């Protein structure tokens, strides 16, 4: 069965948590497309060459989730040649047999406009910064909350205002605002949308 769940939204909105849970609930494969851009960003050198020659090792680096890697990712992600180099892999993954969940910024708009389910997961910038700050260690971490908020805002701004594949909800996306939802409640909403769509899939 070909069945794609496209999950887009701004930084730290909860896409990763929801995507992993949806993939697990339905036995679908999951691709965190942000990791591709993060890997290109931290590799250094010519980003187009890096995108054309990404390896499993590049994607297994343990520094991909840092704030610096997020910023580096959003800088290389404005480059249309970088995006083009990563396109075919993501499209193939989306339409693989057995179902796929992809999370990113342009999955429902560019990578897989034909996705059976499109979710746009968002939350207020304050809430998102707080979550990312906690992920980075909170009080025990190295970054003040105000700095994390500034970086989240800067990255959103760059992602929303770039010319190629800007971050925006697809016209037919279901919006999930997680500002006041627990992870469990957000996951339950996403699972319900997927289940309802699966129920009307033609058999065979
Ligand atoms: O986890 P978080 O939401 O903070 O970020 P991410 O999904 O890992 O994405 C990191 C950066 O990669 C984003 O800020 C975007 O600039 C870029 N990205 C993109 O342009 N298109 C995607 N499909 C995924 C990520």
* pLDDT tens track for 131-166: 999 999 999 998 999 999 999 999 999 999 999 999
pLDDT in tens, 14-63: 999 999 999 999 999 999 999 999 999 999 999 999 999 999 999 999 99
Domain span holding position 10: 4-199
- Which residue, 104, 118, 121, is CA-closest to 187? 121
Return all residues near 23 (Cβ < 8 A) that are at least 6 apart: 29, 30, 101
pLDDT band at 204; cut points 50, 70, 90: low
Q: Quick check: CB of 93 below 6 Å from ligand 1? A: no
Residue 149 lies in a domain: yes
Q: Provide Rg for the chain, Cα atoms.
A: 16
Taking CA atoms only, the protein residue closest to ligand 1 atom 2 is 11
Instruction: Give the CA count within 13 Å in the CB-facing half-sphere of 103.
Output: 25
User: Helices 145-161 and 125-135: crossing angle, nearest 10°?
Assistant: 120
Taking CA atoms only, the protein residue closest to ligand 1 atom 9 is 34
Q: Quick check: CB of 133 below 6 Å from ligand 1? A: no
- 188: domain CATH number is 3.40.50.300
Residue 204 lies in a domain: no
Q: Kindly give the residue spans of alpha helices, DSSP state H, lying in 117-169.
A: 125-135, 145-161
């Amino acid at each position: 069965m070909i069945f794609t769940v496209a999950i887009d939204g701004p930084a730290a909105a909860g896409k990763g948590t929801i995507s992993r849970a949806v993939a697990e609930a339905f036995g679908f494969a999951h691709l965190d497309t942000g990791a591709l851009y993060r890997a290109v960003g931290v590799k250094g050198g010519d980003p187009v060459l890096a995108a054309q020659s990404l390896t499993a090792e590049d994607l297994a680096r343990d520094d991909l989730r840092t704030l610096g890697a997020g910023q580096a990712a959003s800088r290389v992600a404005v480059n249309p040649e970088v995006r083009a180099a990563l396109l075919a892999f993501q499209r193939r993954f989306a339409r693989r047999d057995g179902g796929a969940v992809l999370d990113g910024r342009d999955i429902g708009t560019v990578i897989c406009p034909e996705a059976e389910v499109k979710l746009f997961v968002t939350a207020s910038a304050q809430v998102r910064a707080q979550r990312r700050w906690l992920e980075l260690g909170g009080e025990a971490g190295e970054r003040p909350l105000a700095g994390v908020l500034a970086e989240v805002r800067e990255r959103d701004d760059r992602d929303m205002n770039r010319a190629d594949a800007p971050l925006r909800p697809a016209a037919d996306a279901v919006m999930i605002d997680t500002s006041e939802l627990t992870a469990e409640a957000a996951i339950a909403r996403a699972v319900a949308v997927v289940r309802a769509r699966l129920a009307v899939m033609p058999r065979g």
